[in-house]
Amino acid sequence: MLDANTRFPRQRRHFYYLTGCDVPDCRFSYDIAADKSTLWIPPVDPEAVMWAGLPLQPQEAMEKYDVDAVLTTDELKSAKSVEQLLSKKGQTLLVMKDRADLSAFQANDVKHLQPNIDYDWLRRGIEQCRVVKDEHEIAMIRHANIVSSYAHKQVQASVHAASNERELNAVFVMHCHANGCKEMAYGCICAAGTNASTLHYVHNDLPLDTKLNMLLDAGSEYNCYCSDITRTFPLNGRFTKESREIYELVLKMQDECMSMIKADVMWEDVHMRAHNIAAAGLRDLGIFKKSLSVEQILDSKITTRFFPHGLGHYLGMDTHDCGGNANYEDPDPFLSYLRVRGKLPVNAVITNEPGIYFREFPLRQELKDGVWEGIVDESVLDRYWSVGGVRIEDDVVVKEDGCENLTTVSSNLDDIEGLCNGTIQV
């Protein structure tokens, strides 16, 4: 029963995929041969009604969800119900390992039905199917993006009035919630100054005082579907020379990758294009020795120190959505953090999120140990530590001949500065 401490649980994503139902304590079955789906919802518990109001009724559920029948979960306890569900002896029951209480199927009065329980196929099937989104799913990701993009703009327009990371975090969450996206897809990353070099910074409560930039990686959910957006902006309304140079480089990485994203492109190729541009860009700024060729820079693997994560991940009901087939054991340091491997299918939704970070750990020690001798020019690098990190992240739908960007907050440098210094209104 719900008590005062209860937070509404997060629906299991595979369950939502087959039901569209986010009510806790439900069950679902789908008979493949009969093409019949059934949703079991919790029965009315009079005591719970006093506290939580009337729960969902079967008739309402029939209207609300795309299922063929709605029953209450207490019916699942009867042998008759289980017999109907299995429909025959030796039926294959497709379940998820560790995710199902099978006692109803193992009770004495249904033992004669001897279902053949398969624990593996269902998870594999759902995880692969979830990669390619249908129109409705894309519409929900788009909506989450529109609301979160608006909240991003509100944050940029509020920087002048904030003195601590948490204030901007609150502005973001407030505007998402007020506009119908109550849940965050992940904990907001509100990282000012050098905190931005921590990829998944969690504190969000440090003063902004002398910091140059803020990296805001935040996105809300709409009906379980996520957005995932990052913008980096100047806290005083104007990027410094160094910040501007890094911002422009990251934007170039993102633009070039954006132009490559289309059906059947190898994600590794797009990711390596970003490294290629980072290598040339950081060399042209003088952070890498100007005498080096891009090949020499990439061979040294130094760009993995400045752009250490993968270019992007699938996005759906999970922020890092399933089906990407990442290989975290890959010995190639360019690819071991890449969350999607292989070709992108049409209607997959993926993030395009390059970044350049000035991470003091482990770089300072490696420089001291001479690991990057002949590659990094420390006297130039020293001017860039205070930039912290720049990441720019948009969510795109893969199309046959290109991609569609669902993120509506601008990443144009003038727009960002304009919102932050008040010359552009939200």
Any contact of residue 258 with another protein (CB under 8 A)? no
Q: Point out which span in 138-146, 342-350, 390-398, 411-419 binds another protein (CB under 8 A).
A: 138-146
Nearer to another protein, 146 or 292 (CB): 146
Rounded to 10°, the helix 241-260/413-421 angle is 130
Quickly count: other Cβ atoms within 10 Å of residue 345's Cβ: 13
Kindly write down the DSSP assignment for every residue of 195-216, as one continuous string: GGGSTT-----SB-TT--EEEE
Q: Point out which span in 63-71, 239-247, 396-404, 413-421 binds another protein (CB under 8 A).
A: 63-71
Candidates 78, 319, 386, 421: give the one binding another protein (CB under 8 A).
Answer: 319
Nearer to another protein, 326 or 367 (CB): 326
Quickly count: other Cβ atoms within 10 Å of residue 417's Cβ: 20
User: In 56-167, at which residue ranges do the beta strands (DSSP E only) sit?
Assistant: 69-72, 92-94, 116-118
CA distance readout (Å), 118 to 90, 93, 96, 102, 133 = 12, 6, 8, 12, 26
- In this structure, are residues 395 and 227 in contact, taking their beta carbons and an 8 Å threshold? yes
Binding residues for another protein, total number by CB under 8 A: 78
Rounded distance between C-alpha atoms, residue 339 and residue 28, angstroms: 30
Closest distance of CB 372 from another protein, Å: 24
Nearer to another protein, 160 or 290 (CB): 160
Nearer to another protein, 24 or 286 (CB): 24
Closest distance of CB 334 from another protein, Å: 15
Nearer to another protein, 283 or 339 (CB): 339
Candidates 72, 81, 91, 410: give the one binding another protein (CB under 8 A).
Answer: 91
> Interface mask (CB under 8 A) for another protein, residues 178-197, using x and -?
xxx-----xx----------
Question: Both tokens of residue 234?
Answer: 């100047």
Closest distance of CB 59 from another protein, Å: 15
In 29-134, which ranges are continuous DSSP H helix?
A: 46-52, 58-64, 79-86, 103-106, 121-129
Rounded distance between C-alpha atoms, residue 278 and residue 300, angstroms: 13
Nearer to another protein, 76 or 367 (CB): 76
> Interface mask (CB under 8 A) for another protein, residues 104-133, using x and -?
-----------x--x--xx-xxx-xx----
CB burial readout 239-274, b (16+ within 10 A) else e: bbebbbbbbebbbbbbeebeebbebebebbebbbbb
CA 244 vs. chain centroid, Å, equals 27
Any contact of residue 271 with another protein (CB under 8 A)? no
The amino acid present at 356, given as its one-letter code, is: I
Any contact of residue 250 with another protein (CB under 8 A)? no
Closest distance of CB 399 from another protein, Å: 19
Closest distance of CB 379 from another protein, Å: 33
Closest distance of CB 42 from another protein, Å: 8
Segment 190 to 229, residues that bind another protein, using CB under 8 A: 200, 202, 222-223
